[in-house]
A and B are shown apart, each in its own frame.
Chain A
Amino acid sequence: MQFDMSSDQEFFRETTARFLSDRVPVAELRRLSEGGAGYDDDYWRQGAELGWTSLLVDEAHGGGSISGDGLADLALVAFEVGRHAAPGPLVSANVVASALGSAGGDAHAEVLAGLLDGSALATWASTERRPHDRLGDVALTVRADGDELVLDGVKRPVESADRAGHLLVTGRTGDGLTQVLVPTDAPGVSVRPLRGVDLTRRFAEVRFDAVRVPASAAVGEVGGAAEQVERQLQLALVLACCESVGALQSGFDMTVEYASDRYSFGRPLSSYQALKHRFADMKTWLEASHAITDAAVAAVSARSPQAAELASVAKAYVGDRGDELLHECVQLHGGIGVTFEHDIHLFLRRQTLNRTLHGTPAEHRQRVATFVERGATHEEDAA
C-alpha cells in the first residue's frame, strides 16, 4: 500500500477497515463459510454505499472517486478486503462497472446503476474451462444472427454467478473479441456451483448453449473488444494483487507477533537467528509486493505504456513470493498453523486463490518475456 495517501484517502481506508472489522470479523467468516452464499446481501449493499463499486466509474455515469484517481482509491479497498480476508466479488464487480462505465453506453445504464448502489450484481465471465484455461485463451463464440447475438461455450470460474443478475461475457467473433452483457436468467444459461479454496468467495461454471441476446447487449464493438478486454485484465490483475498484499500483511503481522510470544528452550522464537533470517526474507518479499503492486496500480491508472507489463510483473511476483511467504508463516507457527481453528489459513486461502485466477505466475512470466522481446526489438530498431 502506498505511503503518500491524502487525508481523504486515509479516512476512506479507515472507514472501510472499520466496516470490515465490524461486519466480517473472523468468527463471521467462519460462519459464512458454512452457508452457500458466502456473504449477506446487506453487507455488499453497505459496501457499495461506502463506494466499493463506484470508484472506476466517472461522475457522469453515477460513479466518482475520492482522490481523482479512482483506481488508487479502489486499491485501498482491495487491500483492506484482503487484510480482512473479507467476502465479496470486489475485483470482478469493479471490472464490470469500469467496462460498463466506459463502453456500456445507455443500453446498460440500468445494470450499471444497480451495480453502483449494490442492489444488483454483475460479474465478469472471462476465463474458461480446460483446455482453454490458459491466459488469454477464449473459445466461447459470439455469433451475429440478424439483430441478435448467439453465445456458445463454457466460462469458468465465474465469481458469484449464482447471485449475479448479469454476466459480462468475453467471447470470440472470428479473429476478434466481443463482450456481451448477458442476463443470468436468459434461456440457455446454466450455472453450476463449484467448490474452492477460499472460505467465502464463491465461483461457478457457466454454460452458454445457443444463448440469444439482442445486439444491444454488446458492450463495445462486436469483434473489436480486444483492447477493452486487455484493460479489464489489467484491472483484475492489479486489484487481485492489492487484495493479496493485504492478506500477506495480515499473515506476516500475525506471525511476527507469534514469534515474539512463543518460547522454546527458554527463549522467544524471534530470538533465533535461523528464524530471524527467514523473517527478514519474508519482510523483503512483503515490501517488494507492496512496491510492485503500487507501481502497477499507478501505471494501469495512468494507462502508461508499461501498464500491461507491470500488471503481469506484479501478478507473477506477488503470486509466487506471496505463496512462499504464507507457507513460511504456517511453518513458523508449527502444528497450530495447519489447524482450521487458527486464522492463518484464511489469508493463505485468499492468496492461493488470487495467485491462480487470471493466469498463474508462470503464465505471467511468459507474458513478460514477450514484452522483453518487444522492448529489445524496439531498441535495436532505434539503434
Chain B
Amino acid sequence: MSAAQIDEADEVEGVDAFRQRARAFVRDNLRRIEPGEVVGILRNDMTDEEELAEVEHDRKLQRMFFDAGLAGICVPREYGGQGLTPAHQRALNEELLGYEFAARMQSPTMSPCLAVLLDFGTEEQKRTHIPRILTGEEIWMQFLSEPSGGSDVAAALTTAVRDGDEWVLNGSKVWTTGAWWSDWALCLARTNWDVPKHRGLTVFILPLRREGVEVQRIALLNGFRDFCQEFLTDVRVPDTDRIGEVDDGWTVGTRWMFHERMLYNSPYVTAPPGQGHAGVGTRTILLAAREAGHLDDPQVRDLVGEARVLQLVGDALQERIKDGMTSGALSDQAAAIGRLYTGLAQARTTAIAYEVSGADGVVWGDDDGPLVDVGTDYLMRQISCIGGGTTEMARNVVSERVLGMPRERTLDRDVPFRDVPRSAS
C-alpha cells in the first residue's frame, strides 16, 4: 500500500457516507420486521430448540455486521472495531428501524461487558475477547446479583481464593438472562472478607462452559425460562483473567453499573431506536383497543394518548440525558434519571394495555388476536422496575448523587465485611 492509500484508509468516514453504507447493508441483508411482531413482556412462546436456533441466527447476524464493517462502531480498530463515533452508531441504529438485528448480542454482551473490558481489560484480554465478541463467537453474561441480594451488589458473597497463578471461585449468581446458551461472564467476587465490603471485591472473566459451573434455569411466573442461576464449585480461573486490581473490584463495578444504566444509549449497542420501549408499547395498546372495538371511547383514547406521551417523552428524555452527559452539563449519574423514568413508564404502559383489554385481559381465547396474553404481561408489570437495578435504587442515586442529598446511614461502611449482618438464608 502506498502512503497515500494508507492515508485514505485512515481518514474517518463521514457520518453521511457511513449512513449510506449502513442503509445499503440493512436493506440488502436483513429481514424486515412486521410492525407489532415482537409483543409482550418476555413471553414464553419458543421451544428450547427454537430459542437455540434464534441464538445461532443472532450470532450469524452479528458476523454479517462484522464482515460489512458495521460491528463495534465505537470500538477501536485494533480490537476489530470501526473506531468511529457515537454519531455513526446512532446513524446505524436509525437505519435499523423496522429490521431484524442481533438482539441477543447487545445487552449485556456489548454493554456493560465489552464496555468494561475496554475500560479495564488488559491488552491481552481485549485482543482475545473483543474481536470474538464482535464476530458473534462470544456471548457474555454479567454475574452481579446473588441469591442473597442484588441491590446491594457490593455485598457479594461469591468468593475467590488465590491458589498460585489461579483463583478458585465458589458461590452462586442469579438472574442472568440466557446463561444457558452463553459463553462467558464478568463475575464480581469477594477476595477479602476482612475489610469493608467495597474494598474486598475483584472482577474476573469466567468461562461458562467450564467444569464447576452449573447453570440452572428459573421459571418466571409467566413460564419464561431464560433466566438462570449459576452455582460455582471450585471453578479455577487464571490470574490473567482478573480484571482490574485485586480487591479493587468496586472501581470496576462502579463503571460496570454505569454502563448497565446506559442500556440502549450505550455507544456500543447496535439496536434500532425505541428498544427502551420493547415489551408492551403504544402499538400493542392501539391494536388491543381496536380489537376490543373501543377505539372511539374517549376514555380509551385518553389511555392510548397517555402511552404515546410516555413513549415520546422517554425518547426526548434519553436524548437530553445523553447530550447532557456528553457536554458535561449533567453528571454521569444522571443516567439513573432515565432508568427511573423508563421503569415507571413501561410499568404504566403495561397497565394501560391491560386496562383497555377489559375482561379479555384476564380471560381469553386463542382467537382473541392482540388481546391474548395481555393479562399475563400485566402480571409481569414490575419487571421493568426491577431488572437492571430497581427503581428504588435509581431514586437513591438521583437524590444522593444527582441532587446531592445526604446519603442513607448504613451499618456496613467501616466494618470488616465478615461482621456485617446478612439476610437470613
Contacts and interface: CB of A to CB of B under 8 A. Distances in A.
B399 A3 contact: no
Given A4-B323, A277-B399, A291-B320, A284 B337 contact: yes
B57 interface: no
A279 interface: yes
A280 B308 contact: no
Given A376-B283, A383-B35, A369 B301 contact: yes
A292 B312 CA distance: 8
A301 B304 CA distance: 26
Contact of B403 (A283, A368, A376): A283
A290 B308 CA distance: 17
A279 B405 contact: yes
B317 to A, nearest CB: 4
A11 interface: no
B308 A368 contact: yes
A242 B282 CA distance: 26
Contacts of A380: 35
B309 A313 contact: yes
Contacts of A290: 320
Interface residues of A, number: 44
Nearest to B285: A372
A373 B313 contact: no
Contacts of B399: 270, 276-277, 279-280, 283
A268 interface: yes
* Residue picked from B295, B302, B397, most chain A C-beta under 10 Å: B302
A382 to B, nearest CB: 9
Contacts of B305: 316, 364-369, 372
Number of contact residues on B: which range applies? 35 or more
Given A277-B399, A287-B321, A366-B302, A292 B405 contact: no
Contacts of A368: 304-305, 308-309
Interface string B287-302: 1000000010010011
Contacts of B398: 279-280, 283-284
Contacts of B286: 372-373, 376
B405 A270 contact: yes
Given A287-B337, A295-B319, A316-B305, A379 B35 contact: yes
Interface in A348-383: 362, 364-373, 376, 379-380, 383
Contact of B309 (A276, A317, A376): A317
Contacts of A366: 298, 301-302, 305
Contacts of A292: 312-313, 316-317
A271 B309 CA distance: 33
A315 to B, nearest CB: 9
Contacts of A309: 308, 312
A319 to B, nearest CB: 10
Grouping DSSP codes into helix (H, G, I), strand (E, B) and loop, the B interface class, with mixed when no group exceeds half, is helix
A159 interface: no
B306 interface: yes
Main secondary structure of the interface of A (DSSP, over half): helix
A188 B406 CA distance: 63
A365 B344 CA distance: 18
A294 B302 contact: no
A362 B302 contact: yes
Contacts of B334: 287
Contacts of A367: 305
A17 interface: no
B394 A280 contact: yes
Interface in B334-392: 334, 337, 340-341, 344, 392
Contacts of A317: 309, 313
B324 interface: yes
A313 B308 contact: yes
A275 to B, nearest CB: 8
Listed residue (A283, A291, A368) with the most chain B CB atoms within 10 angstroms of its CB: A291
Contacts of B50: none
Given A365-B301, A369-B305, A291 B406 contact: no
Contacts of A373: 286, 295, 304
Contacts of A310: 312
B329 interface: yes
A279 B34 contact: no
A259 interface: yes
B5 interface: no
A199 B400 CA distance: 35
A273 interface: yes
B123 interface: no
Interface in B385-425: 392, 394-400, 402-403, 405-406, 408
Contact of A281 (B282, B313, B395): B395
B98 to A, nearest CB: 9
Contacts of B315: 295
Contacts of B397: 280
Contacts of A66: none
A281 B408 CA distance: 17
Contact of B313 (A283, A288, A364, A371): A288
Contacts of B2: none
A346 B324 CA distance: 29
Interface in A284-334: 284, 287-288, 290-292, 294-295, 309-310, 313, 316-317
A295 B301 contact: no
A24 B327 CA distance: 33
Given A3-B324, A259-B405, A316 B309 contact: yes
B323 A3 contact: yes
A3 B35 contact: no
Given A4-B327, A270-B405, A288-B316, A280 B301 contact: no
A294 B35 contact: no
A260 interface: yes
Contacts of A294: 316, 320
B313 A313 contact: yes
A256 B308 contact: no
Given A4-B327, A292-B317, A317-B313, 4 more contacts: A270-B403, A366-B305, A367-B305, A373-B295
Interface of B: 34-35, 282-283, 286-287, 295, 298, 301-306, 308-309, 312-317, 319-321, 323-324, 327, 329, 334, 337, 340-341, 344, 392, 394-400, 402-403, 405-406, 408
15 contacts: A3-B324, A3-B329, A4-B327, A256-B403, A277-B395, A279-B399, A283-B398, A283-B402, A291-B319, A292-B313, A295-B315, A309-B308, A365-B302, A365-B306, A373-B304
Interface of A: 3-4, 256, 259-260, 267-268, 270-271, 273, 276-277, 279-281, 283-284, 287-288, 290-292, 294-295, 309-310, 313, 316-317, 362, 364-373, 376, 379-380, 383
Q: Which 3 A-B pairs have the closest CB atoms?
A: A365-B305, A276-B399, A280-B398
